[in-house]
Structures are given as structure tokens and as C-alpha cells.
Amino acid sequence: MDNTSLAIRDFSAADTDDVVKLWQDCGLTRPWNNPHQDVARKLTDKNGAFWVGLVDDQIVASIMIGYDGHRGSINYLAVSPKHQRDGFGALIMARAEEFLVEIGCPKVSFCVRKDNLSVLSFYDGLGYNIDDVHLLGKRLIPDD
């Protein structure tokens, strides 16, 4: 683990371009999802949080946290490739879990692509298991 400390704060609209670049650097964006629209949508959500992690005032991590009254969700957990393996992913995820517990969330579920073996291994190391469920999806609003 790197000795550099990670400062975590709420996302602000001025962070958008840096966060989208981080997501692109981490391979999280897809052509059918406009990341700028994902940011705008999250900013209308009142049931979770959207944080960035900084080292020397530079955004190196992000996480979107949701809660629908039944279970929590995690989206766009990203750590700059330069800082992966510094413990920042585990740190920001632990803070997200604490936040969810504080707001009364009993369980968290989220998606990881099946072929993303390194991320699956990361979450396995944090005690997450693959749930025996099918993920269903339907696009309701196409992104531009």
C-alpha cells in the first residue's frame, strides 16, 4: 500500500471532465452510455452519494453510491491506473459501506462485467460474493 493519503469529498459539477477522464482511463465507459449524462442523472439523485478521491488536489478516484430503500448499489468505483494497488479502492469502498450502514441500508449489490477478472478478484478480497441472480436490463432512455 502506498503511503500517500486519499482525501474523499463530495463530487461537484466542476469535477465532471476530470471524473469522466478517470472513468475512460479505467475502461468504465461504454459507447451506449454517455458518462456526462450519467453524472447529470446522479446529481438529481437524493438517495445516495457521489464522491471523488484526491491526492495532492488531483482526482484519482470516484464512486457513486445509491440506496433505494431495499438495497444499496455501487457504480463507477474507479481508481486511476497510476494509483491502483495503493489501497484507495478498498478505502473508498469501506467508506461507502459505512455510509450505507449509517443510512440504514442492509445490503449492497452491484454489477461487474464477467470478463473483468481483476475487479472480480478485488471485490473477492473485500468479502463480496457472486449472487445467484440474473441481471435484467432494458434501456428506457437512449443516451445521445
Domain ranges of the chain: 7-125
More confident residue, 139 or 60: 60
**CATH class of residue range 7-125:** alpha beta
Q: What is the pTM of this model?
A: 0.91
Q: Measure the N-to-C terminal CA separation of the chain; round to a whole number of Å.
A: 40
For residue 67, the model assigns a pLDDT of 96
Binning pLDDT at 50, 70 and 90, where does residue 135 land?
confident
